[in-house]
Structure 1
């Protein structure tokens, strides 16, 4: 095989960064987008549509890569992603933007898991541990750089370039893989499980709608929410039934019978929820509760991207010398320490404390995610490696998609309850609602409130955000328990 590995690695890392950063780069540009296109009530769908299609497509692409090879599926995914990016920049309505983000997500579902699988193919286990650490750090870096890059594009150009900047990078990534990756694929005729794919789409879509709409637009006991939950349950069990009987299932349930894979995948779900929760809500906490400027808020979150690559690099070395279980445990302990720091942030109330929590969270993510991927890829044969890798990426993204909805629901519910209580005893000049938080973040909007009103709203937001960190701590405990229960000795070449 004449594959030039450094060039392939650079190409797949570029593709991974492009897809990962797109989940967050839009955040800073959204005020400009909404001012141009309108549709503030559809704000959250710009993010959730992208994550939703990524979650649904990851296991499908993992299967296709095992059938037809990594190169062609990787390039197809990037091509779809770039089409969606181009259309996003052309959007003249918020509805068209959301549709374009769906297309982006369909393509992004191929980029990250296939990139990780390519690395698993071209490097040995000893080399793979180190290289997977580099790939894992892409997640932490992108989660921090995304909002910064979005702000720069809005300031010096136009929000459309938030999407169009992907095009040259995507083309370079495709060229690198096409030219430098050479793989031998055993051509096989297999059936694609369209029924399973459709049921997976219905299940995840309905669940996402429940978390996005529930408690905000529809009450939790409304006919809409109850009907959607019934749909989730029915579609999920039909999906499991279909996967058991399908000749070539979308997600091989056999790999879930292996304790290491099942445990690592569930842990990736909770870790993904933790990461997106901190990334989404920490800047708001630092700016409003700690009364610090946006630069300081960015610093506290940047610490995630410092801890992640350091621990990923160490994990790559320690997996060989100390073993996978011990290396993963370093991650579990770090995550627990980070969550405790966030939980006690209401007592210490200092940005350095928040930054320390971010650092330990990033370190924990680096240790654990690197260990998960290396262990899983060493456990299965080549034939199942794409599906197994994709299943882990799928669970982490599913955790992110559901985590931001669940923790956001906690924040909105607690804030709504607080404001309703305030209305009984205070005479507000502006009607208390969740929109007052947006005004509070705006330097001009803040002037519309009296000093007393600002204090009350900040108090409510502090209490609500502390509830979010209680949720983060619970997720950390679950993750720690799962990591403890990882098998200490994994077998190789599972091919059943």
Structure 2
């Protein structure tokens, strides 16, 4: 670890910048949706802009994490940045909603390589006690970036063009790549391996069919139609086949053996729930504020970005709780606060008051800050170097998959309520749709609370580096 010490500062800045780009892009289109729909049309398909990105990220995270444990972290993160920049460049010129969705999928593939590598590299070059602060920084960057995404999207769509959302990714992505290339050195013993292509393809097929059934059911076809049944039955069958393939694969894309450890199972569930909560807020609150409360894109972005006020403060202080008292203490505290915050959402949604949303966002940010970073550190601390990228990738996969599925479910709820109401131009209908989505967010918070309160007791001082 000492060989990294003189370069750790620049390395940390590089991975913070690259992680920020990925997090921003997961949410940046939220406030730009009205502008994009006005330009490209097809309002009912806009959830695919989020689900397509998150699905691609989810299914590629485990594969890239496995490659990182074999070839090293550096080539994986550089490849991811290159793919992400390519997707951003193509999105600038997207002529239709379908093309834009495809570009988002390319971006998601790049994010699948970059997102887990930042956490993994930090786990490699810092000790557990140092990680308490560093992972707090990374969690704060992810939180701030994902919450600032709607604000940035609002600024571009209101004052310039939504296409500039993708233009800005290109120079920043190249800067991150140069910093990683120049500063990060690692010594990896390369071994022969077999990439689990079959598992990756079947996983992609299964999740795609489920998301297709959720997002298009009740819109493109009836819920009881043959197409709907094929999507859900095919998706479940593909995921069952995926489990079979992984149990017999020499080098599985998702190491299911890790799920034999109770701590890892809880970390996965917690990550999935966090993804569902955050995307529920960032994907639907801005649209609600713009269409129901008459807020500008910038004002809507500010409301959601209020989460960034409390999240980094809580993350920075989480180590003071879990280092002496254990990870469970911090995670249970945070999950309880999140539960309270989501219940408050149901009370304020009908008020159409932007400042009430801001206040609730601050409460939620506090809870998520005490939960997210300790969860990742707990999972990393339970394994050694050879499994750390896999474990980190598994938690990132869970967060991305949870986000993608949650956005699909929320989109289904929203579209169903709007279709049965007066349409998306009616403020009252938008309020009803958002209320339905918030009930879904409460469900995700309940799952988080249960997983946190049943988390095994693991002390923050535990380290498996030796």
TM range (shorter): over 0.9
The match for 2:412 is 409
Conservation of the 8 A alpha-carbon contact between 1:17 and 1:138: yes
Q: Which runs of 5+ in 1 are unaligned?
A: 420-431, 440-456
Q: Which moved more, 1:283-292 or 1:75-84?
A: 283-292
Q: Which residue of 1 aligns with 2:68?
A: 65
Whole-angstrom CA distance in 1 between matches of 2:410 and 2:41: 26
Aligned with 1:298: secondary structure?
helix
Give the equivalent residue in structure 1 for 2:265: 262
User: Which residue among 361, 369, 376 is the counterpart of 1:366?
Assistant: 369
* Matching residue within 459, 474, 485 for 2:443: 474
Decide whether the 8 Å contact of 1:260 with 1:376 is kept in 2: yes
Cα deviation per residue 1:336-394 (whole Å; 9 max; x = unaligned)? 11012112225766444322221121112111111111001100111111010011011
Distance in 2 between the 1:469 and 1:412 partners?
A: 14
Q: Does 1:124 align with 2:127?
A: yes
Deviation at 1:494, TM superposition (A): 11
Change in CA separation of 1:40 and 1:188 when aligned onto 2, cut-off 3 Å:
same
Counterpart-to-counterpart distance in 2, 1:293 and 1:36: 17
Q: State the partner residue of 1:450.
A: none
Give the stretch that moved more between structures: 134-143 or 11-20.
Answer: 134-143
Cα shift at 1:79: 0.7
> 1:90 matched to which residue of 2?
93
Distance 2:60 2:288 in 1: 33
Aligned in 2, Cα 1:33/1:458: closer, same or farther, shift over 3 Å?
closer
2:455 aligned residue: 486
Tell whether the 8 Å contact from 1:193 to 1:246 is kept in structure 2 after alignment: yes
Q: Does 1:2 align with 2:8?
A: no
The CA distance in 1 between the partners of 2:297 and 2:160, in whole Å, is 20
CA distance in 2, matches of 1:492, 1:459: 53
Name the residue aligned to 2:220. Answer: 217
Alpha-carbon distance, 1:41 to partner: 5.7
Tell me the residue number matched to 1:453: none
RMSD of Structure 2 on Structure 1 (CA): 2.3
Cα distance in structure 2, aligned partners of 1:339 and 1:99: 32
In structure 1, C-alpha distance between the alignment counterparts of 2:298 and 2:157, rounded to whole Å: 17
Is 2:274 the counterpart of 1:271?
yes
Say which of 169, 172, 175 aligns to 1:169.
Answer: 172
Shift of 1:39: 5.2
Once the two structures are superposed, the pairs formed by residues 266-415 of structure 1 within 5 Å of their partners are: 266-287=269-290, 289=292, 296-345=299-348, 350-415=353-418
Q: What are the superposed Cα offsets for residues 406-432 of structure 1, whole Å, 9 maximum, x if unpaired?
A: 122222223333x2xxxxxxxxxxxx4
CA apart distance, 1:31: 4.4
Aligned residues: 461
State the distance in 1 between where 2:69 and 2:372 align. Answer: 22
Radius of gyration: which is bigger?
A: 1
Distance 2:47 2:335 in 1: 31
| 2:204 aligned residue | 201
Asked if the contact 1:341–1:353 (Cα under 8 Å) also holds between the matched residues in 2, the reply is no
Residues 1:44 and 1:328: Cα distance change in structure 2 (over 3 Å)? closer
Quote the Cα distance in structure 2 between the aligned partners of 1:472 and 1:384. Answer: 32
* Structure 1 residue 313: Cα displacement: 0.4
8 Å Cα contact 1:191-1:248 kept in structure 2: yes
Distance 1:154 1:411 in 2: 23
Q: Over residues 70-120 of structure 1, what are the superposed CA-to-partner deviations in whole Å (9 max), with x where a residue is unaligned?
A: 001000111111111112223334433332222211111111101110011
1:233 equivalent to 2:236? Answer yes
Partner of 2:218, secondary structure, is coil
Unaligned 5+ segments in structure 2 are: none
Tell whether 2:109 aligns with 1:140. no
The equivalent residue for 1:107 is 110
- Residues 168 and 461 of structure 1: is their aligned pair in 2 closer, same or farther, counting only changes over 3 Å? closer
**CA–CA distance in structure 2, aligned partners of residues 157 and 300 of structure 1:** 21
User: Equivalents in 1 of 2:86, 2:290: separation in Å?
Assistant: 36
**What is the rounded CA distance, in whole Å, between the counterparts of 2:296 and 2:284 in structure 1?**
15
How far is 1:185 from its partner? 0.7
- Alignment partners' CA distance in 2, 1:44 and 1:327: 33
**Which structure exhibits the higher relative contact order, with contacts defined as CA atoms closer than 8 Å and separated by 6 or more residues?**
2
SS at match of 2:306: helix
Is residue 341–residue 356 contact of structure 1 (8 Å, CA) maintained in 2?
no
SS in 2 for 1:14: helix
* Stretch of structure 1 that moved more, 117-126 or 312-321: 312-321
| Cα distance change, pair 197–99 in 1 and its aligned pair in 2 (3 A) | same
1:122-160 Cα shifts (integer Å, max 9, x gaps) = 100000111111111223222232222223334554443
Q: Show the counterpart of 1:80.
A: 83
Aligned residues of 2:92 and 2:166 also touching (Cα < 8 A): yes
